[in-house]
Chain A
């Protein structure tokens, strides 16, 4: 709705294949401050396609900040400089005319780059498959109101469950640790009465897969919480640590 145009220099990470050497390619764009950063890439790609050049590979889906597909490190910050936003929600009015913007993929050994800004986050799925569930079969559930859950507990569980699985926590962590992501999922089930039977087994199995996947370990810089588009709290990591300790002290395996 604003009439002015921003002239920006984009430095975008280009990498043709997972094993290829990456480099920054520079593009000059003139765009409306009302466009989102992903729309800037849309426009750029449209122009590149017209010229028969290879468009910038990046992923996005819902463009409402909930699916967790998009994720670009923008000027050193996963999802850009504005807190509690996903990349798709970042609008160009947050930048100054003439600014240079670096767009890089999320970097971590456990998140290999596939192409340009696209990364492979399947390690997250593997961790979830290890134990992020409550074991019961459809059809066997009791009436939903049979288990009363205090409002505050349900609310805390939802705070943890809001994680969109984007991987910004890993991307920003100097150790590429996935503990905020894992801690959030462990916490959701650890807080709820339904999650109690498998509580300690779950945390052990998820942490084991997390370690195998090549993530680093947490050194409590809390950069993850600061950059998380959902503001997931690091208290979830503490809860996971505690449960893990208890589980190792009390279970056989």
Chain B
């Protein structure tokens, strides 16, 4: 086991953990997105779906714990890597040439990641916690969401975060492949395009929800 543990603490091992947890989290987001898209079909179908998931609550709890571990490990690992990397490069140049040699997405991973982490707590408290502990009697989850996004500030906040999530994904997906050693000149362009596609789909898919409900709330008033 010492082999495994010193692998996990090595520079490449840490990167591998980032890649693996990251890819699993992407998988989760895909499922999350599919569930969310029911919102567009209407309250009934969405609430039915929520009820279906509610029926298997023990399993959901297990998945939630796994997700929590993945998130925490992903974030913790990222922060230790960031700290070590900062130590490895303490002095900055007077002129920074990074604009010409790398993408903004790749350089902003820690920033977008940190914002997403903060968002996650907000998200859990506004929606997850409300659903699990805060709903009153006959209230449906659809209404909770609709009410939240009828506030333009919440809608805007969620929307902006989803753009940053796209930034993160655009680099993350292909980066995970590179870290895992799957970089073949024949297939890698496809991997990169897939990563961008995922980024766009996530941004539009998740981001359209707050906009949709906000617009809906305007319509309701009018």
Contacts and interface: CB of A to CB of B under 8 A. Distances in A.
> Do A and B interact with each other, yes or no?
yes
Interface of A: 11, 24, 73, 75-77, 81, 102, 104, 107-110, 172-177, 179, 207-208, 210-211, 214-223, 226-227, 234-235, 237-245, 248, 251-253
B186 to A, nearest CB: 11
A242 B181 CA distance: 4
A176 B181 CA distance: 20
B31 interface: no
Contacts of B101: 77, 172, 221-223, 226-227
A223 B102 contact: yes
Given A73-B93, A217-B85, A220-B178, A240 B12 contact: yes
B132 interface: no
Interface in B44-64: none
Interface stretch (B13-21, B148-156, B200-208): B13-21
Question: 10 nearest interchain CB pairs?
Answer: A242-B181, A76-B97, A216-B88, A238-B183, A175-B85, A217-B11, A76-B95, A216-B85, A226-B101, A176-B89
Interface of A is mostly: mixed
Contacts of B10: 207-208, 211, 244
B94 A241 contact: no
Interface string B1-40: 0011001001111111000000000000000000000000
Interface in B62-102: 81, 84-85, 87-98, 100-102
B138 interface: no
Nearest to B180: A241
B12 A176 contact: no
A81 to B, nearest CB: 8
Nearest to B106: A221
A221 B103 contact: yes
B214 to A, nearest CB: 35
A245 B14 contact: no
A68 to B, nearest CB: 19
Contacts of A235: 183-185, 188
B179 interface: yes
A228 B87 CA distance: 23
A234 B178 contact: yes
B168 interface: no
B18 to A, nearest CB: 9
A75 B84 contact: no
A162 B14 CA distance: 29
A245 B14 CA distance: 11
B109 interface: yes
28 contacts: A104-B95, A109-B90, A172-B97, A174-B107, A176-B89, A208-B10, A210-B11, A211-B10, A214-B88, A216-B84, A217-B14, A218-B179, A219-B109, A220-B171, A220-B175, A221-B103, A222-B102, A223-B102, A235-B184, A235-B185, A238-B181, A241-B180, A241-B181, A242-B180, A244-B10, A245-B16, A245-B181, A253-B3
A24 B93 CA distance: 11
Contacts of B81: 217, 219
B128 interface: no
